[in-house]
């Protein structure tokens, strides 16, 4: 497209209220995030009803802040992009209702964006020369996928989790170790103090050649180890538990990612999703890519966790291909990757 396209993006799928202005899918003019972590911390996780109310309180302020920081007016925007799934239904509806109201009042196109496709698109912001085809490992609290990104609007899902996502397993292990919410970053920090070879936790690879994941057995192995140690009076070193558990997760993710690249003959790999902020995963994935001559891309940590800039990037490519919604667009909390 010859004309610059400005997308106002809105993200409210979980416990971050976010708005951003993105130019041409790659240039972030603003990216405002209002986090609810402090609110939900005392409950040990996200409380959906509270999350919805906090979104209502923050959303106008966040959108106004994004427009102000970008130095544009609402009338300058070419389209409104919004996350419509997956996520918490009440939280999604807050952002979706706001996006509909703005699109109607300003007579602007309404662009629906899949949350996970937003995470993948964060790589286009991180590396402005990054383009399909590539393999992407999507790792978050609710999702673990290996995806072959064939084009901006075409991909094949090579594998997915059959039970717990990697981030979900991290949060559960963090909880039993007495670490605060959100658990993933605390596991990452604690693991740096421990020995990853101290405890022989399993690496579940499933059937030969499979790209699927299963982390529920690993989670159970950690729980069984802790329970047995308590019953026998064995000393528990939390840092060693965290390090050994994290190493198991990373080993499986790296092995399957490398195998996918080799099988497809693709020399480009990207990470996406909240868990891609994990320092060990980033380091080991990069090291393995370098050893195999694979170009590697991972978004900055602020673009790994939920944000609206990634929705603006994905929204741009949806807008360019004419994927415009009408006012009947609804929230789909269980929307799967690849569904429309």
Using CA atoms, how far apart are residues 210 and 159, in angstroms rounded to an integer? 7
- The model's pLDDT over 105-157, given as tens digits with 9 standing for 90+, comes to 999 999 999 999 999 999 999 999 999 999 999 999 889 999 999 999 899 99
The domain spans of the chain are 6-120+304-320, 132-299
- The model's pLDDT over 167-194, given as tens digits with 9 standing for 90+, comes to 999 999 999 999 998 899 999 999 999 9
**Domain 6-120+304-320 listed as CATH 2.30.40.10:** no
- The model's pLDDT over 226-271, given as tens digits with 9 standing for 90+, comes to 999 999 999 999 999 999 999 999 999 999 999 999 999 999 999 9
For the chain, give the percent of residues with pLDDT over 70.
Answer: 99
Query: Which one is the CATH code of 132-299: 3.20.20.70, 3.30.300.30, 3.30.420.40, 3.40.50.700?
Result: 3.30.420.40
Q: Which residues contact 278 (CB under 8 A, 6 or more apart)?
A: 139, 184, 188, 246, 250
Using CA atoms, how far apart are residues 340 and 320, in angstroms rounded to an integer? 17
> Do 190 and 242 touch, CB atoms closer than 8 A?
yes
Using CA atoms, how far apart are residues 20 and 65, in angstroms rounded to an integer? 9
**What is the rounded average pLDDT for all residues in the chain?**
96
**Nearest to residue 215, comparing CAs of 305, 274, 281, 144?**
144
Whole-structure pTM value = 0.95
Cβ neighbours, 10 Å, residue 262:
13
């Amino acid at each position: 497209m010859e004309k610059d396209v400005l997308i106002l993006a809105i993200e409210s799928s979980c416990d971050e209220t976010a708005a951003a202005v993105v130019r041409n899918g790659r240039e972030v003019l603003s990216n405002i995030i209002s986090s609810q972590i402090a609110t939900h911390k005392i409950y040990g996780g996200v409380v959906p009803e509270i999350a919805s109310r906090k979104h209502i309180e923050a959303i106008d302020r966040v959108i106004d802040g994004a427009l102000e920081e970008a130095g544009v007016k609402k009338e300058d925007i070419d389209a409104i992009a919004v996350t419509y799934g997956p996520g918490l239904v009440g939280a999604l509806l807050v952002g979706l209702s706001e996006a509909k109201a703005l699109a109607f009042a300003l007579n602007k196109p309404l662009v629906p964006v899949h949350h996970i496709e937003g995470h993948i698109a964060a790589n286009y912001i991180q590396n402005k020369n990054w383009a399909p085809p590539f393999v992407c490992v999507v790792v978050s609290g609710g999702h673990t996928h290996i995806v072959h990104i064939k084009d901006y609007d075409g991909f094949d899902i090579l594998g997915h989790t059959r039970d717990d996502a990697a981030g979900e397993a991290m949060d559960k292990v963090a909880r039993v170790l007495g670490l605060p919410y959100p658990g993933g970053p605390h596991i990452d920090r604690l693991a740096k103090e421990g020995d990853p070879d101290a405890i022989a936790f399993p690496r579940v690879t499933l059937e030969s050649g499979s790209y699927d994941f299963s982390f529920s057995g690993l989670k159970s192995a950690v729980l069984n180890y802790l329970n047995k140690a308590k019953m026998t009076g064995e000393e528990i070193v939390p840092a060693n538990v965290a390090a050994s558990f994290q190493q198991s997760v990373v080993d499986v993710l790296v092995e399957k990612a490398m195998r996918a690249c080799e099988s497809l003959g693709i020399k480009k790999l990207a990470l996406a999703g909240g868990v891609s902020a994990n320092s060990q995963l980033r380091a080991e994935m990069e090291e393995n890519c370098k050893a195999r001559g694979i170009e590697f891309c991972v978004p900055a940590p602020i673009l790994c966790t939920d944000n609206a800039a990634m929705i603006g990037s994905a929204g741009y490519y949806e807008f360019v291909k004419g994927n415009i919604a009408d006012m009947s667009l609804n929230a789909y909390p269980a929307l799967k990757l690849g569904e429309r």
